[in-house]
Amino acid sequence: MSLSTVAQDIKLPEPDKKGGVPLMQAFNDRASSREYDSRKLTDEQLSNLLWAAWGINRAQEGKHTAPSSNNKQEMSVYVALESGLYLYVPESHYLKQIHNRDIRKVTGMQDFVEIAPVNLIFVSDLTKAGITDPAKAGPGSLNTSSINTGFMAQNVYLYCASEKLACVVRGWLDIPELSKAMELAPHQRIIIAQTVGYPKK
């Protein structure tokens, strides 16, 4: 089943918030994998995956499934699919298309990133983090964003363990090249990427 689209954006189905294996089993099954099948995720899997990573779980407060240091909410999740690059909009639970180019192979230095159907890129907005001049961002400026990304990536790991999907978080990437391919602004900084897909048979 193909994802329904509105002006190239992808409207995701409602996430299933009651499914999955028991939490302790998900911890037991959590693992990293670097071998992927090219088969695409279903609509529901993509919806659940993104909601687990950074969805809204307290609508009245606008709070997320992962913590945000001092509630700065500076994090964004980009999704590289075969059909293009998208920004996950958690408030409306849909994917806003940035462009229609397949940049999966640019999201990392390993061959499997081009094979797997989904590559997530976690991006910090320096202005929301309190840094008005990106040129003055020091080595420690992204510490809290890195911690927040860790929470989000672990949510993805646990969802994948529950769904029997393959998953790995990756720091080996060419950040300048990927930033250019994503058309990011100077105040947006890539923290890390994460690959998701079916295990290779």
CATH number for position 151: 3.40.109.10
Question: Do the Cβ atoms of 98 and 183 come closer than 8 Å?
Answer: yes
Please state the length of the chain.
201
CB 124 within 8 A of CB 142: yes
Domains of the chain: total: 1
123: left (phi over 0), alpha (psi -120 to 50) or beta: beta
Whole-model pTM over 0.85: yes
- In 3D space, the residue among 80, 46, 76 whose CA is nearest the CA of residue 182 turns out to be 80
The candidate with the shortest Cα–Cα distance to 45, out of 139, 163, 158, is: 163
Identity at 35, one-letter amino acid code = E
Q: Tens of pLDDT along the chain (201 residues)?
A: 345 545 599 999 999 999 899 999 999 999 999 999 999 999 999 999 999 999 999 988 888 999 888 777 899 999 999 999 999 999 999 999 999 999 999 999 999 999 999 999 999 998 887 787 777 776 677 888 999 999 999 999 999 999 999 999 999 999 999 999 999 999 999 999 999 999 998
Structure tokens belonging to residue 59: 């609508």
Q: Is 133 exposed, middle or buried (0-12, 13-18, 19+ CB in 10 A)?
A: exposed
Which domain, by its residues, includes 174? 5-197
